[in-house]
Amino acid sequence: MSDQNSDGSQHSLPDLTNRHVSWVMDPKRGMLLPLTGIWILALDWLLFSSNLLTAGLATPVVVAVGVVLGAVGTLVLQIMVAKDSLWKALLKALVAGIVVGVPWPLTGSLIGGWILLAAGMKTPAGKNSQPS
């Protein structure tokens, strides 16, 4: 799928999408990958919103699953995408696992949101911070 501009040049959708998505996997954007922040947010919302259906009776199971999924997902992302050393990735995974496992949904949302903001989600892709 491509669009034709008024000057006759074609603008390809995959190039545009790649530019807007690549910031999520950029290891230079902060201590944790923005993709790790999205992972923490998604797990937090999925696990603890589903816990409401059981009236909190599944909390111990949800906490354990949250710790494991948060830690393993972060470990894989930080090693495979950010190219962190094993010890550095393990420390980040431990912290992320604890954050996801805390049985208060607001905790994961705040931490995941902070990671995304620190990574530069507040500035649009392609904008540079230097005034022209």
Residue-wise pLDDT tens digits, 32-63 = 888 888 899 899 888 888 788 888 888 899 99
Q: Which residue has the higher pLDDT, 118 or 122?
A: 118
Across all residues in the chain, what is the average pLDDT?
A: 77
Residue-wise pLDDT tens digits, 87-99 = 999 999 999 999 9
Q: Which residue has the higher pLDDT, 132 or 95?
A: 95
Q: Provide long-range contacts, Cβ within 8 A and 24+ apart, for 38-42.
A: 38/112, 38/116, 39/70, 39/73, 39/74, 39/77, 39/96, 39/112, 40/70, 40/74, 40/96, 40/99, 40/100, 40/108, 40/111, 40/112, 40/115, 41/108, 41/109, 41/112, 41/113, 41/116
pLDDT of residue 33: 85
Q: Which residue has the higher pLDDT, 79 or 29?
A: 79
pLDDT at residue 11 is higher than 70: no
The pTM (predicted TM-score) of the whole model is: 0.70
